[in-house]
Amino acid sequence: MNKKIDERQQQEFYKCEHMAFRIMFSVSVIVIVIQMLFMKAAFQQVLGETVILACGGISMILSCLKSGLWSYNNNEPSVKSNLIYSIICSVVATLLFAIIIYTRAGIKVMTPTIIGGFFGGIFILGFIVLTLLGQVSKNTKKKIENKYKDI
């Protein structure tokens, strides 16, 4: 296949794709939250959007890991950043969980134990996943750097 664009145009094209992906990803999240919170949609009703969101997110993560990339500003993964991101994700997920449970089942179902357990579970799961993915990214980056050192 013959390329009809130069390198600058290709970089601009990639920027456009990047922005479009971010917009689609964000809109999917917003649509799912709106349907779950305000329209009281069942999970089966948002399953399509959720699958699309999961596929996009997983493919992005796998692509970055395959390339040895961790963050946009080339920071290395660390325990501190993993803790911060885990806490942020846990707070957001727990708030959404609490609001959805409250709107559907009422205050009687929401006990501090359930809310605390949900927060703790999401925090631990998020921290473990970030730590493992960070280690995979570091290892891949080292392999790629070693591959090009020999040349």
The pLDDT tens digits for 80-129 are: 999 999 999 999 999 988 888 888 777 777 788 989 999 999 999 999 99
77 neighbors 70 (Cβ within 8 angstroms): yes
Cα–Cα distance measured from residue 60 to residue 67, given in angstroms and rounded to the nearest whole number: 11
Give the pLDDT band (50/70/90) at residue 1: low
Give the number of residues written for the chain. Answer: 151
Domain boundaries, the chain: 1-66, 73-150
Query: pTM of the predicted model, to two decimals?
Result: 0.76
C-alpha distances in angstroms, 19 versus 12, 14, 52, 78, 86? 11, 9, 17, 27, 25
